[in-house]
């Protein structure tokens, strides 16, 4: 049985993720009124013209306090200041969630907020996202079948978690796991942040190789394109994510470095036995991931 729609949903930050949330919520009737907030006038004009929101503002205001749910879809560095801006207007019952790719820093910043407000804040992380940035990168099927992490903070009220889970389910997410902020950041370093590092590193090494033979750029096939798909992502956004989660990311990079060293060592062996064994083991591991 479908849940009744929210009276008012506010989405702050109308890039690829935020605009996708607004347009899907609008299409599926998940809220009687959807309000978008973005500082960029061209973004505001676009989402208004597309009909993805009912109202659009340049900045949060007192009316946010009347919302049933507020989604903060800004870069991780902007989340604390956005929450601080909302704090004078927040009213009990207004659920706030952010979708940043790093959570531990946000948890440490929440202590500056009133305790009554902290109880209504919970982290979310749907594991999907367009490679391109901006509202034109939004998709009506972005969340379909995607897993979603729900991240309770120290003072998050238990009642908030099922509300978040239900909202993301209505957007299309299907698998939900509750994790602590620190565990979230550990996981993301391996399954999200490191793959982005690899994509950019592979692109750079191939660019260096192609400088001696320009025809190489025309020869890339599906394996290269699949491995470097996320290299089209926003450099500014991902540099911020890398730096914010640098401790966990460095650990993941070192683990990868050790694996690559083992591959190089096996290449020098007289028989392919150990190399085959290594590939077979990795193939079995791959089958256990949700890819």
Instruction: Characterize the bridge pairing of strands 95-98 and 55-57.
Output: unpaired
Provide mean pLDDT across the span 232-238.
Answer: 91
Q: Residue 271 has what pLDDT?
A: 87
pLDDT tens digits, 159-179? 999 999 999 999 999 989 999
69-72 sheet: strands from edge to edge: 55-57, 31-37, 6-12, 69-72, 95-98, 121-126, 147-152, 175-178
Mean pLDDT score of the chain = 93
DSSP state of 190: I
In this predicted structure, the answer to whether residue 186 has a pLDDT above a threshold of 60 is yes
Given pLDDT bands bounded at 50, 70 and 90, which one contains residue 2?
low
In this predicted structure, the answer to whether residue 189 has a pLDDT above a threshold of 60 is yes
Q: Residue 46 has what pLDDT?
A: 97
Rama region for 197: left / alpha / beta (φ>0; ψ in -120 to 50; rest): alpha
Instruction: Give all domains of the chain, ordered by start, each with its CATH number.
Output: 6-179 (3.40.50.720), 184-286 (1.10.3660.10)
Provide mean pLDDT across the span 3-26.
Answer: 95
pLDDT tens digits, 84-99? 999 999 999 999 999 9
Q: Residue 223 has what pLDDT?
A: 92
Q: Residue 259 has what pLDDT?
A: 94
Tokens of 252: 């993941």
Distance CA 241, CA 192 (A): 10
- List, in sequence order, every beta strand (DSSP E) within 116-186: 121-126, 147-152, 175-178
Question: Does residue 62 contact residue 36 with C-beta atoms inside 8 Å?
Answer: no
Residue 149, phi then psi, degrees to nearest 5: -95, 130
Given pLDDT bands bounded at 50, 70 and 90, which one contains residue 130?
confident
Given pLDDT bands bounded at 50, 70 and 90, which one contains residue 290?
low
pLDDT tens digits, 47-79? 999 999 999 999 999 999 899 999 999 999 999
Q: Residue 211 has what pLDDT?
A: 73
In this predicted structure, the answer to whether residue 213 has a pLDDT above a threshold of 80 is no
For the chain, what percent of residues have pLDDT higher than 70?
A: 98
Q: What is the pTM of this model?
A: 0.91
Query: Which residues, in sequence order, are CB contacts of 95 under 8 Å at separation 6+?
Result: 68, 69, 70, 120, 122, 160, 163, 164
Residue 135, phi then psi, degrees to nearest 5: -65, -30
Report in angstroms the alpha-carbon separations of 251 from 107, 139, 185, 225, 241. 21, 33, 12, 26, 15
């Amino acid at each position: 049985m479908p849940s009744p729609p929210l009276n008012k949903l506010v989405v702050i930050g109308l890039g690829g993720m935020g605009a996708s949330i607004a347009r899907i919520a609008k299409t599926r009737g998940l809220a009687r009124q959807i309000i978008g907030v973005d500082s960029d006038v061209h973004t505001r004009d676009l989402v208004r013209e597309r009909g993805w929101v009912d109202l659009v503002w340049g900045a949060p205001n007192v009316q946010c306090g009347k919302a049933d749910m507020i989604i903060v879809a800004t870069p991780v560095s902007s989340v604390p200041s956005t929450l601080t801006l909302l704090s004078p207007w927040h009213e009990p019952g207004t659920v706030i969630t952010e979708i940043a790719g790093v959570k531990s820093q946000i948890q440490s910043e929440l202590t500056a907020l009133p305790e009554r407000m902290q109880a209504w804040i919970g982290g979310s992380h749907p594991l999907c996202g367009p490679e391109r940035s901006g509202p034109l990168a939004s998709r009506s099927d972005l969340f379909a079948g995607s897993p979603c992490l729900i991240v309770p903070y120290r003072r998050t009220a238990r009642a908030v978690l099922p509300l978040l889970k239900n909202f993301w389910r209505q957007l299309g997410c299907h698998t939900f796991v509750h994790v602590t902020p620190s565990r979230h950041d550990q996981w993301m370093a391996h399954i999200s942040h490191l793959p982005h590092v690899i994509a950019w590193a592979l692109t750079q090494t191939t660019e260096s190789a192609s400088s001696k033979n320009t025809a190489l750029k025309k020869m890339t096939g599906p394996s290269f394109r699949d491995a470097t798909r996320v290299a089209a992502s926003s450099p500014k956004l991902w540099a911020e994510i890398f730096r914010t989660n640098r401790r966990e990311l460095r650990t993941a990079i070192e683990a990868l470095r050790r694996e690559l060293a083992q591959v190089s060592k096996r290449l020098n062996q007289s028989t392919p036995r150990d190399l085959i064994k290594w590939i077979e083991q990795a193939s079995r591991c791959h089958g256990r991931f949700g890819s």
